Amino acid sequence: MNRRVRRKVAKKGKEKVTVACYPEVEDEVLGSERNGDVIWTSLPDDTVIQLLSCLNYRDRASLSSTCRTWRALSFSPCLWSSLDIRAHKCDAAIAASLTSRCANLHKLRFRGADSADAIIHIQARKLREISGDYCRKITDATLSVIAARHEELESLQLGPDFCENITSDAIKAVAHCCPKLRKLRLSGIKKINGDAINALAKHCPNLTDIGFLDCLNVDEMALGNVVSVRMLSVAGTSNLKWNLISQVWHKLPKLIMLDVSRTDVGPVAISRLLSSSKSLKVLCALNCPVLEQNTSLSTGKNKGKLVIAFSTDIFKGVASLFVDAPKKEKNVFLDWMNSKKKDKNLDEIMSWLEWILSHTLLRIAENNPQDLDDFWLKQGAPLLLSLMQSSQEDVQERAATGLATFVVINDENASIDGGRAEAVMKDGGIRLLLDLANSWREGLQSEAAKAIANLSVNAKVAKAVAEEGGIDILAVLARSMNRLVAEEAAGGLWNLSVGEEHKGAIAEAGGVKALVDLIFKWSSGGDGVLERAAGALANLAADDKCSMVVALAGGVHALVMLARNCKFEGVQEQAARALANLAAHGDSNNNNSAVGQEAGALEALVQLTRSPHEGVRQEAAGALWNLSFDDRNREAIAAAGGVEALVALAQTCSNASQGLQERAAGALWGLSVSEANCIAIGREGGVAPLIALARSEAEDVHETAAGALWNLAFNHGNALRIVEEGGVPALVHLCTSSGSKMARFMAALALAYMFDGRTDEFALIGTSSESTSKSVNLDGARRMALKHIDAFVLTFSDPQAFATAAASSAPAALAQVTERARIQEAGHLRCSGAEIGRFITMLRNPSPVLKTCAAFALLQFTIPGGRHASHHASLMQSAGASRVLRAAAAAATAPIEAKIFSRIVLRNLEHHHNHVEPSI
């Protein structure tokens, strides 16, 4: 005996909660709940069937293997009246395994040519509806066999993408094999000739709904022979002869709805069709350029006939079809769907309108024509939101896809139209989309998640999505076994994770674990989902706390696996970016060393610096830069060929993006901290490209190139190479002209290293030992360097403040000098003992400029509050710097700047001695 499922409303506080109720077993279920247990195998049959009906066919098959009873119930015909295999690979073997269940299958949705080939193996002789997309590779042979095996077929839809390999021969086969055909909608066929259409007219007497969309040629005269047609669409079809159409189609006795959207129809043809056809009630002509350019179209003489165009009020027009016009015209579709009064003819018109409008709006959004902002804001967006509430699932999906598409301005840089996105939000679209995403239908989940992802590029929409519970929904969808659903959900989390305020919420919702699991789940064959998952993890890893969650969830291993094995450049770029961000928190967690210790990580990143894709090279260099802050990583990168790879990268990126230039120079800067690497970079030819990068127009590149050259200049051989390669003018230019104080500071230090007297000694032996062939005027270069070092340091001096400080030992006077001289970013620099020792030695240099520069540098490195100030103070104490500083401060011949700076450094050392700070 069949049991009818009824529903009751249970009150919980002030809210009403709708729950499924089975009166026959209510006491049994409540008894189980009282005991705190649910005995799944004791559930009533109709409860199990209801549960199974909410699953895709694979999950249904898995759950049916739980026990014999559930297996038997899983064969219930009501569970297999329709089948959606779009999200799953369906080959002949899988199709054959479904045969025993599909004897009463009536409706089938599939995706792609492989699934189309497999359909015949399901042996569903009673199949009435077939709908397929991604049909570009479907051939005449496949379609003909499908038609021959399903003679009960009433509806065949292939699209909206183009059926490029289907010809009129297959359409004739459909006509001969499927005499009960009522609906035929095909997209993108090159030519539909008269023979094919006449075959439909002859053999399919019930054919009422025809759609030949985006075709190149359709025989207009033959279409006039299909006297059974009530709904006809030729939207997007080119090369139509409108003079012939206006003479023939008005004679179709039953034609009540005609769609000519996206064609070159003009006002004359429209007027003739409206005035000549006695049956025609609705004519849709959206995005018809010729019609829109001519404002002479008048429908006043054709009362009772609805014309839908950009120039008309669509909601008002549709509302006019009803005897009782809706109070709020924008609710016309929703009011019709909820109406208890049923009118068969009106229902037919409204259902067709929903389908046509969802298809046409999506096509218009995909083509993104200009000057449609006003239409989208006033009518397009509200129409899509109304259509999302349709009872037709395919209409809902296309409407959601339309929302995902119409907001996008540029695919390449993921830019969206803020006005359109916010229009969706203001009209309640976010809640509607989240409700669709939260449904059990995977097709709706996928398209709704895509729309949420695209809309969330806008910060205001992203905030609304988060406030409406969207992060939790997307985190759940990211765990889906359906790759398309998981991919779009990951895309949503990727865009939401851009906002700092959403990162923590994503982690709390389990989003990080879901994203990491996606990488392992789709490690092969899922480039789209992998790129989105890695991109989201990259954004999350930029946050200190979230980076630790990523590492704990296995993210390091997952991302390294992608960097090593994936060949898709988008995945490589995001994986490298994620590893770079994970390694960027060396002061607060151990992720930097963890990435370096992961097997194959450094080798993979070094290899990615050789990628032909600039974005991949940039992110890989950025990752190596961050990783080089760890001593062990620095040497391991060099051992993996990092020096050679990064020098080669620097040599080829002079015309590249500023981001790549910055990271290439930054990675060499990080590696050059090591003396061995410093020497290796010079020998590999790294000096010349760094000098070239120092001439960049970007301040960020100035800093990294100057930093690398500063480190390289510590080595005498490299210092001479810098002079030989024309580095002095480049560093002088940085020192005097860069908008970055840090770049100017490091350029000055590099020049100071080069001319503190050691380069002269090396030049005498370097010429013979390294076969130096370039003639170098060291004296001229030294004079230029010292002149601009002095000018740089003096920009941080104030004569009045110095005079006050010289006359008084008051802390306030020294503090005033310090505040003016302080370079905030310099506190992040970490110097080795050798470097500190060199500056201390430089304090004894007879050159007043170098003496002042050394005191100025030590001041920057020891200012209280600097990240490494305590470390530097400790090194200076160990090197006996106090004595040298006192001598410099008291030297009669020393410049006043050197004296005052030395006194400030002494005061800083005293501070660190009395207030022990943690050394980082």
Q: What is the pLDDT of residues 759-807, one digit of tens each?
A: 665 554 454 344 444 556 788 899 999 999 999 999 998 888 888 888 8
Q: Quickly list H helices, 281-392.
A: 289-293, 314-319, 332-338, 344-367, 373-375, 381-387
Euclidean distance between CA atoms 617 and 607, whole angstroms: 9
- Please tell me the least confidently modeled range out of 321-325, 632-636, 841-845, 881-885: 321-325
On average, the pLDDT of the chain sits at 89
Query: What is the per-residue pLDDT across 116-152, written as a single tens digit (0 to 9) for each?
Result: 988 888 888 899 999 999 899 999 999 999 999 999 9
Q: What was the pLDDT predicted at 37?
A: 60
Q: What was the pLDDT predicted at 34?
A: 47
Mean pLDDT of the 643-653 span: 96
pLDDT at 66 over 80: no
Query: What is the per-residue pLDDT across 203-216, written as a single tens digit (0 to 9) for each?
Result: 999 999 999 999 99
Euclidean distance between CA atoms 750 and 725, whole angstroms: 14
More confident residue, 769 or 384: 384
Query: What is the per-residue pLDDT across 494-531, written as a single tens digit (0 to 9) for each?
Result: 999 999 999 999 999 999 999 999 999 998 877 999 99
Euclidean distance between CA atoms 859 and 904, whole angstroms: 7
pLDDT at 26 over 90: no
**Residue 796: HSE in the Cβ half-sphere, 13 Å Cα cutoff:** 29
CA distances from 309 to 210, 259, 262, 378 (A): 21, 11, 10, 13
Q: What was the pLDDT predicted at 5?
A: 31
Q: What was the pLDDT predicted at 661?
A: 97
Phi and psi dihedrals of 541, rounded to 5? -65, -15
pLDDT at 459 over 60: yes
pLDDT at 88 over 80: no
Q: What was the pLDDT predicted at 211?
A: 97
The angle at the Cα of 814, spanning 811 to 815, to the nearest 5 degrees, equals: 80
Q: What was the pLDDT predicted at 460?
A: 95
Mean pLDDT of the 89-112 span: 86
Bond prior to 369 in cis (omega within 30° of 0): no
Of 322, 308, 311, the C-alpha closest to 357 is: 308
Query: What is the per-residue pLDDT across 529-562, written as a single tens digit (0 to 9) for each?
Result: 999 999 999 999 999 999 999 999 999 999 999 9
Q: What was the pLDDT predicted at 918?
A: 45
Contact at 8 Å (CB) between 462 and 501? no
More confident residue, 891 or 53: 891
Q: What was the pLDDT predicted at 920?
A: 36
pLDDT at 12 over 60: no
Count Cβ atoms within 10 A of the Cβ of residue 818 and give its class: 0-12 exposed, 13-18 middle, 19 or more buried. Answer: buried
More confident residue, 638 or 774: 638
Of 706, 829, 810, 722, the C-alpha closest to 774 is: 722
Mean pLDDT of the 65-71 span: 77
Show the tokens assigned to 655: 């015309």
Q: What was the pLDDT predicted at 155?
A: 97
Phi and psi based region of residue 212 (left: phi greater than 0; alpha: psi -120 to 50; beta: remaining)? beta
Euclidean distance between CA atoms 367 and 363, whole angstroms: 6
Q: How confident is the model at residue 748 (pLDDT cuts 50, 70, 90)?
A: very high
Mean pLDDT of the 320-346 span: 86
Contact at 8 Å (CB) between 403 and 429? yes
Contact at 8 Å (CB) between 122 and 102? yes
Euclidean distance between CA atoms 48 and 57, whole angstroms: 15
More confident residue, 678 or 47: 678
Q: How confident is the model at residue 400 (pLDDT cuts 50, 70, 90)?
A: very high
Contact at 8 Å (CB) between 702 and 694? yes
Q: How confident is the model at residue 32 (pLDDT cuts 50, 70, 90)?
A: very low
Mean pLDDT of the 680-696 span: 96
Query: What is the per-residue pLDDT across 553-611, written as a single tens digit (0 to 9) for each?
Result: 999 999 999 999 999 999 999 999 999 999 998 777 899 999 999 999 999 999 999 99
Compute how many other C-beta atoms are within 10 angstroms of the C-beta atom of residue 421.
Answer: 26
Q: What was the pLDDT predicted at 22?
A: 34
Q: What was the pLDDT predicted at 766?
A: 52
Q: What was the pLDDT predicted at 24?
A: 37
Count Cβ atoms within 10 A of the Cβ of residue 613 and give its class: 0-12 exposed, 13-18 middle, 19 or more buried. Answer: middle
In whole angstroms, how large is the CA radius of gyration of the chain?
A: 37
Euclidean distance between CA atoms 81 and 83, whole angstroms: 7
Task: Name the β-bridge partners of 397.
Answer: none
Q: How confident is the model at residue 21 (pLDDT cuts 50, 70, 90)?
A: very low
Q: How confident is the model at residue 264 (pLDDT cuts 50, 70, 90)?
A: very high
495 Cβ contact partners less than 8 Å away, ≥ 6 residues apart: 453, 454, 456, 457, 462
Q: What was the pLDDT predicted at 1?
A: 30
Show the tokens assigned to 664: 């290439």
Compute how many other C-beta atoms are within 10 angstroms of the C-beta atom of residue 838.
Answer: 19
Q: In 723-854, which ranges are E strands?
A: none
Mean pLDDT of the 609-627 span: 97
Phi and psi based region of residue 262 (left: phi greater than 0; alpha: psi -120 to 50; beta: remaining)? left
Q: What was the pLDDT predicted at 763?
A: 55
pTM: 0.86
